[in-house]
Structure 1
């Protein structure tokens, strides 16, 4: 079955093809009419969809994560491409080509795992290296890290995105740290490894990426601190050696302060050089990745500029010729 990937859809284009229903909501408009607001996805990305004049029967005819055959047309709304669905029907998974919908790249994840092992295994600090081995020895944790997303939206919001973000930060720390001899580069790198690790428990990537109950109640910073305490306890039990209290304290501070500001979710402001550096390196990677996504998904007619994006308060230059 020939289909157009979401990333290649254009304004005003009719379609009759399969998607995966990433999310759905039954809503009521101002006139009392019901409609379905949905997110449709494939391997190339996600697009918002609307189905007008819907009812409960239509809404219940498919579930989140189901494959659905849709008819409709694309249109631009508030500067973004969306689809108006006129017909939707649940499909059996045997009717679709799974490779067109699987967003997790197992080969890339394996390469990133190899790089993670190189970075953690190459640490000269024996305590950090041993702690890294404790994390790497947890096969369940590592498997979930390889397939986890780094966010629900904005940046690295896809299966495998968390590990990509983690490796990028660790390599940036490895490159930047030596320029500032007052900083402990290996501590900074390990903080980059730990900073978002709690997201493997905070977010669920089954179907639409969403927050778990634990994620809603605690958040990834608290979860990350709990995981760190658990791994240090496990290391101490296995080695019969006490992990240095001061080193643990600095690792904890890197996790709790990496958002940089109290209003952005950090329980504490960064007060060490490593924590200040980690916050800015993390923010840089997140912003560049998010802005790149805005440019790549923009459908503005002006070839040089994106549409105005209210979430970032500006247009972005996108001409790469």
Structure 2
């Protein structure tokens, strides 16, 4: 199998790739062709099928795995693939093998999550954190899922990597501004994106669950943390403060003005912006979800 990162103009390639995008188009002469985006764990590449486009188009859908043979071309310094033949490959390998992964060890990063949780002294907040990190299914997804499909941390392990990054920035803010409620800010930073654990599922690509598509990760995270807080017996006021911080991590929720944010909510909002913005810039231009 030829990894996408090793594609070179003029070479013939064969391999199993995930279909991230599939679009039927018409040429200037009115002939149909397929415009695709194919991906593996090393990257993504635009591809086209000119011959028998409608026949091949019936063989697969977005999110499927396909075995492809074709030839790499280059234009304006960017490679693309002209597909000569394609067939479904659902029975070849494991779908997650085609997904990009963090260069950092997710288990090690989750160890940092546990270490940072130990910095929270408030016993009620600690019970909430212990309940969430001690949930085996949730912890597995926390270590596995991305933060976005195509923006920052769009790879397996991206969620836990982002979690640690934002919490480290938040921890620095508590040192510089000691009047911040450090327990509240750190707890909020650790669980602010936990909704991604249920918003995504792993297929040949990162796919939104029905819950993720309909509700979004902020609403899902609000539910996960709120339920854990109730089970942990967290005081109602403290629970509201924690959910306030989480709900603000992308800025003002609908119907609220920027001035309505508490200092910890504002700190988390800006810490999240900083970490995601820098990461997105390092990874190249693209949407930040």
Task: Compute the TM-score of the two structures, normalised by the length of structure 1.
Answer: 0.78
**Aligned counterpart, 2:85:** 87
| Mapping of residues 218-257 of structure 1, within 5 Å | 218-236=215-233, 243-257=234-248
* Residues 36 and 54, structure 1, Cα contact 8 Å, conserved in 2: no
* Residues 70 and 89, structure 1, Cα contact 8 Å, conserved in 2: no
Unaligned residue ranges in structure 2 (runs of 5+): none
Report the secondary structure of 2:151's partner residue. Answer: coil
Change (3 A) 1:25 1:102: closer
Q: Distance in 1 between matches of 2:149 and 2:286?
A: 18
Q: Distance in 1 between matches of 2:80 and 2:267?
A: 39
**Aligned counterpart, 1:299:** none
Report the secondary structure of 1:82's partner residue. Answer: strand
How much does 1:203 deviate? 2.2
| Mapping of residues 258-297 of structure 1, within 5 Å | 258-261=249-252, 269=258, 271-294=261-284
Unaligned residue ranges in structure 1 (runs of 5+): 237-242, 295-308, 313-321
Superposed CA deviations along residues 175-198 of structure 1, whole A, max 9, x for unmatched, are: 222100121122111111221111
2:150 aligned residue (149, 153, 156): 153
| RMSD of aligned Cα (Å) | 3.0
Change (3 A) 1:217 1:183: same
Change (3 A) 1:176 1:80: farther
Q: Distance in 2 between matches of 1:268 and 1:200?
A: 28
Change (3 A) 1:267 1:41: farther
Superposed CA deviations along residues 114-166 of structure 1, whole A, max 9, x for unmatched, are: 11111113321111111111001211111111111100111001111111101
Matched positions, count? 285
* Residues 185 and 265, structure 2, Cα contact 8 Å, conserved in 1: yes
How much does 1:99 deviate? 10
Task: Compute the TM-score of the two structures, normalised by the length of structure 2.
Answer: 0.86
* Residues 120 and 126, structure 2, Cα contact 8 Å, conserved in 1: yes
Matched, 1:49 2:47: yes
